[in-house]
Structure 1
Amino acid sequence: MKHLALATGCLLATQAVAETPVLNVYTYESFTSEWGPGPQIEAGFEAECGCDVVFTGLGDGAALLSRVRLEGERSEADVVLGLDTSLMAQAKETGLFAPTSASADYDLPIAWTDETFVPFDWGYFAFVANVGEDHPSSFEALAASDASIVIQDPRSSTPGLGLLMWVKAVYGDRAPEIWDALSDNILTVTPGWSEAYGLFLDGEADMVLSYTTSPAYHIIAEGDETKEAVPFDEGHYMQVEIAGKLAASDQPELADAFLQYLLGAEAQGVLPETNWMYPAVMPEGGLAAGFNQVVTPDKALLLSPEEAQSLRDEALAEWQAALAR
């Protein structure tokens, strides 16, 4: 009888584990790191849902779309977190994403009406450098300088793609000329943001493509005020990061609940000091004082998702041609 009771107990425990719903979330690697927002958001949502959240880090943001396109309807992902508006139209065209019921009263510089993707944070791209040095204040000035820069690959990285859109938004048909001039300044191109920023911190380059909010990390987390985002006279390109659920998800209601949690006070309060971006919904207590010390662009630039998609191939070809010379 003891053996029967033990076997029955083990069977019930196994069934309980098997019945725990699993939510698979594809995102970028820095989101899932121990210092990123992933661990806290995972724990917070699991406490509410009684489910198991499994984050899968897949390089940088633009690599996410490539992965789900490759997997198609066979993808194990329920949610993709970490695309942005430059990839939004392309993501919709795949037909792999479904509308979500998640919504919020957003604190964004732009109006948000899309019903498929939810914005979870945003920021401005910028080149980050060491305080006290003489930095160029435009792409043309950067190209004319001896400054070395590290950037990210636009085929795998949303910051890399954002840089292409930034140059295109400022210079239009002159973009090839700007890339030709900048090619000598580019020390290397990395697959994602983490590798590029690490090279800069190691002193390998004078400047790195990142965000105006990146110095807030050093100020708040490290008490280090030696890094700054360089203000560009031409303006700074905006990034709005988005998340969406897969149409083929076997957990559609759980996916919607997760997206709604992502927009809630708990998760939005986590993002500023872990992902080091502005929250899509401002926490009641506001932001830490260190965010007041970062650059606020005088001019914000942003192409619509449709404009970004229409220009992507052309901008990528211009960038590749310049770097191949």
Structure 2
Amino acid sequence: MTKTIPAALAFAFMASAAQADLPVLNVLTYDSFTSEWGPGPAVEKAFEAFCGCDLVFSAVGDGAELLARLQLEGAKSDASVVLGLDTNLTAQATATGLFAPHAQTAGNDLPVPYADPNFLPYDWGYFAFVYDKTKLATPPTSFEELAASNLKIVIQDPRSSTPGLGLLLWVKAAYGDRAPAIWAALADNIITVTPGWSEAYGMFTAGEADMVLSYTTSPAYHLIAEEDDSKASAAFSEGHYMQVEVAGKLANAPQPELADQFLAFMGTDAFQSIIPTTNWMYPAHTLAEGLPKGFDQMITPAQSLLMSADEAQTARKPALDEWLTALSR
């Protein structure tokens, strides 16, 4: 007996077959980028609208874990693009020999000069300690004031988290040889060190800490998405360390042409306009319609701190050793 396939089932089968014929671009990134509230879903939809491909994100816990994952997989990685490293890790990433030049000629609109033959910026921000204004009326105005207080803070592990590493370099850039003393004074303020940003921020919003290491733009999320103006970032007199997040193409990319298309797409308004209200960072390129309302209420640091890629690479191990020594006492 001949059986007919229902029209709806036939359409689904054809759509599935068509999808299977599309080339797949695998982008390795961190998990908060791919979450339902992160940029990933919107970026996927926007890029697939013109690339004629299937964009697939593979995620690890946090930015610093990307490099460890990549070093483990080496040239056998299925990814064509790595998105989520920052300038504190690019020297180490370049030294692996796993990245290829991006060949993009367009500049960027970062507040500091930035150019790298292997990496392109897609967003940036300032690290800061976020607090609840309804619970803390007078926040500390420096690391020294924070260390002298009885405030409880939660930070991220610099070995697995880019914000955690950024904090180490922030203290080092601000205090130099005095950094070990600052960490020794801060040690009793730290109630825990989490693997990544998501865990730390969740503890803060659950009321388990007075302050959390995050970004000057984090309160914009509460203000815009939740209509909650109770969160703020503490302005530190010694300045705030910048984070510039970047993406790069792998030398053994399975889809090198699609990787080039994606890196070029990152610089367009279609990608950049997604960043402010999903990754809650500043876009690397000026938006045609400007930043969303609410970003104008974020603090502007009096001084910007940022080490070059090579400086960060040199400072990383000594800063980590100082941190580990202080927290082990």
| Rounded Cα–Cα distance in structure 1 between residues aligned with 2:305 and 2:196 | 22
| Rounded Cα–Cα distance in structure 1 between residues aligned with 2:236 and 2:16 | 58
Contact residue 149 and residue 186 of structure 1 kept, 8 A? yes
Residue from 157, 161, 173 that aligns with 1:157: 161
- Aligned position for 1:115: 117
User: 2:178 matched to 1:182?
Assistant: no
Contact residue 104 and residue 281 of structure 1 kept, 8 A? no
Residue from 231, 254, 261 that aligns with 2:258: 254
Give the AA of the match of 2:237: D
Query: 1:104 deviation in Å?
Result: 2.7
| Rounded Cα–Cα distance in structure 2 between residues aligned with 1:113 and 1:302 | 14
Query: 1:113 deviation in Å?
Result: 2.2
Unaligned runs of 5+ in 2: 4-10
1:136/1:12 CA distance change after superposition, 3 Å: closer
Q: How does 1:3-152 map to 2 (within 5 A)?
A: 16-131=18-133, 132-152=136-156
Query: 1:18 deviation in Å?
Result: 4.3
Q: Secondary structure at the match of 2:109?
A: coil
Q: Secondary structure at the match of 1:54?
A: strand
Contact residue 262 and residue 268 of structure 1 kept, 8 A? yes
- Aligned position for 2:267: 263
Contact residue 102 and residue 257 of structure 1 kept, 8 A? no
Normalising by structure 1, what TM-score?
0.95
Contact residue 19 and residue 54 of structure 2 kept, 8 A? no
Query: 1:101 deviation in Å?
Result: 2.4
**Deviations, residues 20-57 of structure 1 (Å, cap 9, x unaligned):** 11011111111001110000000110111111111111
Q: Secondary structure at the match of 1:155?
A: coil
Contact residue 130 and residue 213 of structure 2 kept, 8 A? yes
Contact residue 62 and residue 157 of structure 1 kept, 8 A? yes
Query: 1:12 deviation in Å?
Result: 8.9
Richer in helix (by share): 1
Give the AA of the match of 1:260: A
Give the AA of the match of 1:255: A
Give the AA of the match of 2:55: V
Q: Secondary structure at the match of 1:284?
A: coil
Q: Secondary structure at the match of 2:290?
A: coil
| Rounded Cα–Cα distance in structure 2 between residues aligned with 1:226 and 1:13 | 47
Residue from 230, 234, 244 that aligns with 2:238: 234
Query: 1:13 deviation in Å?
Result: 7.8
Query: 1:93 deviation in Å?
Result: 0.3
| Rounded Cα–Cα distance in structure 2 between residues aligned with 1:37 and 1:138 | 32
Query: 1:105 deviation in Å?
Result: 3.3
Residue from 275, 284, 289 that aligns with 2:288: 284
Q: Which moved more, 1:74-83 or 1:130-139?
A: 130-139
Give the AA of the match of 1:315: A
- Aligned position for 1:198: 202
Contact residue 172 and residue 179 of structure 2 kept, 8 A? yes
Query: 1:81 deviation in Å?
Result: 0.4
Q: Give the percent of matched residue pairs that are identical in Structure 1 and Structure 2.
A: 63
Q: Secondary structure at the match of 2:275?
A: helix
1:14/1:44 CA distance change after superposition, 3 Å: closer
| Rounded Cα–Cα distance in structure 1 between residues aligned with 2:165 and 2:319 | 9
1:273/1:15 CA distance change after superposition, 3 Å: closer
User: 2:219 matched to 1:215?
Assistant: yes
| Rounded Cα–Cα distance in structure 2 between residues aligned with 1:296 and 1:257 | 34
What value does the CA root-mean-square deviation take over the aligned residues? 1.9
Residue from 305, 316, 320 that aligns with 1:312: 316
Give the AA of the match of 1:208: V
| Rounded Cα–Cα distance in structure 1 between residues aligned with 2:240 and 2:57 | 31
**Deviations, residues 63-119 of structure 1 (Å, cap 9, x unaligned):** 000100111001111111000000010000000000112343311111122121000
Q: Secondary structure at the match of 1:271?
A: coil
| Rounded Cα–Cα distance in structure 1 between residues aligned with 2:15 and 2:181 | 65
